[in-house]
Amino acid sequence: MKHRMKTLLAAAAVALFATQASAQTKWNLPSAYPPDNPHVENLTLFAKDVADATGGKLQITVHAGASLFKGPEIKRAVATGQAQTGEILISILENENPIFGIDVVPFLATSFPEAMKLWLASKPLIEQKLAAQGIQVLFTVPWGPQGIYAKKDINSIEDMKGLKWRAYNVGTARIGELVGAQAVTIQAAELPQALATGVVNAFMSSGATGYDSKVWESLTHFYDTRAWIPRNVAFINKAALDALDKPTQEAVLKAAKVAEERGWKMWETKTEWYHEEIAKKGMKVLKPSPELQAGFKKIGDQLTADWLKRAGAEGQAVIDAYKKSL
């Protein structure tokens, strides 16, 4: 009976989207980031590619800056059909399942080629977990490598004790705990205000997040630790996709493939540009000291062990597949 009910609900969802598709071709795509962020620029180009390929039959509106849904709300909005498609930082789902946080395990994948190999190793399992919720993966795009922003010299892990540390996922919260900082969960759209009001005075993120948040107005130092390369994942409500005619479905999937290739190239190009820009604004852009790097390596080993303990055999299989690909 339960299985039959699920089948009926799925059929009803497809019928609903089919009715909507015949009546209108406007979809919503929420994002948590500002319009000039490379992720949003890439999503906007994706929407244009779909419109061009379908002769305007399918129009996708990108809603930047968490204007439609906040970052943590986007996956649920797509799963329930409130938005047809969306993009999120996949690691914010790590509390739901550890596999969603594999890309933010420190020092596991620290270059763009390594990050792509890690994605390919983890992609089948991530797709499986999301498919169970009625969501199909479209593409993934990385951020730049992660470094530390602060308002003082940080030469060792001990210098981080007592900092008001911005966390945005399980891994960053755990780092704060291990270094003796006070972790505060702040999403990207809320970071500028948190910095301006002193709610946080240090965090770990990419050059892009620092630039978007005008971090130079509050902080002074950026340490290029290149600890990990997080990824955003764009996805679509499966019922919405199934309701499209075959040529339109193919146009969406083809545009998604192009968006993934374009997005990776964009970030490889812009990573150093962001570092140069925040330096021009007065930030000290520094390499970590050997002592700080060694301290983070030790933390990375601890967090890898913690992650594997939570992820179990599934996680170990992904790590093994990734290391075999190197």
Q: What is the pLDDT of residue 24?
A: 58
pLDDT for position 15: 52
In 10 A of CB 162, how many CB atoms?
Answer: 12
Q: How high is the pLDDT of residue 25?
A: 82
pLDDT of the residue at 169: 87
Contacts of 297 (CB under 8 A, 6+ apart): 107
pLDDT of residue 107: 86
Per-residue pLDDT of the chain (326 residues; tens, 9 = 90+): 545 545 555 555 555 554 444 445 899 999 999 999 999 999 999 999 999 999 999 999 999 999 999 999 999 999 999 999 999 999 999 999 999 999 999 889 999 999 999 999 999 999 999 999 999 999 999 999 999 999 999 999 999 999 999 999 888 999 999 999 999 999 988 999 999 999 999 999 999 999 999 999 999 999 999 999 999 999 999 999 999 999 999 999 999 999 999 999 999 999 999 999 999 999 999 999 999 999 998 998 999 899 999 999 999 999 999 999 99
3-state secondary structure the chain: CHHHHHHHHHHHHHHHHHHHHHHCCEEEEECCCCCCCHHHHHHHHHHHHHHHHCCCCCEEEEECCCCCCCHHHHHHHHHCCCCCEEEEEHHHHCCCCHHHHHHHCCCCCCCHHHHHHHHHHHHHHHHHHHHCCCEEEEEEEECCCCEEEECCCCCCHHHHCCCEEEECCHHHHHHHHHHCCEEEECCHHHHHHHHHCCCCCEEEECHHHHHHCCHHHCCCEEECCCCCCCEEEEEEEHHHHHCCCHHHHHHHHHHHHHHHHHHHHHHHHHHHHHHHHHHHCCCEEECCCHHHHHHHHHHHHHHHHHHHHHHHHHHHHHHHHHHHHC
Rg of the chain on CA atoms, in Å: 20
What is residue 129's predicted lDDT score, i.e. its pLDDT?
98
- pLDDT in the model for residue 237: 98
pLDDT of residue 23: 45
The tokens of 257 are what?
Answer: 């493939």
